[in-house]
Structure 1
Amino acid sequence: MCLGLPMTIIETDGMSALCQYGDEQRRVSVMLLSEPPLGAKVLVHIDTAVRLLDDDEARLIADALEGLDAALNGHDCDRFFADLIGQEPQLPEYLR
């Protein structure tokens, strides 16, 4: 399984970018994107930025990853999934 990280571009040369997520920094390819600006949030899979994220989506992904880490370490994870608490799962329209 491959997880994507919501990372922020802190330096770029047009072909690659130095990105940050928490305390981690890594150089990733940005060749799939059209000149992402400094400060842009990107979804990174296997050291490749695959698409731009808005701030809300980046925060939701980061919260889900932190919640997963909390759950795996036996900590309460409900606060990371506040948008899902009390909701019934919804099938996509094509599966209804």
Structure 2
Amino acid sequence: MVHQSAQYQIELLLADELPQEHVAQCQGGLWVSEREWIDFVSYWLGMPLFIKRAYRDEAMIQILIERVEAFYEEMLRRMAVVAAP
């Protein structure tokens, strides 16, 4: 996700932590890639590069798995209703 704001980059650099709005995205990437870590990177022209390493959070990944499975089951249920003669 690209944020079109130098202010956002400044906030990242000052906070020095993975932004909450990207935690699920990063953990989902770790889940599907089966990797142990991922680097979140943000850059704005003329400003320092922001890099924050995130490691697997198995509890959060389990929540993601459960939510994806629930979504899939609901999708199948709705498809069956729509496709019913």
Work out which of the two has the higher radius of gyration on C-alpha atoms and give 1 or 2: 2
Q: Which has the higher strand share?
A: 1
- The two structures have a TM-score, normalised by structure 2, of 0.32
Task: Select the structure with the greater relative contact order (CA < 8 A; seq sep ≥ 6).
Answer: 2
- The two structures have a TM-score, normalised by structure 1, of 0.29
Q: Which has the higher helix share?
A: 2
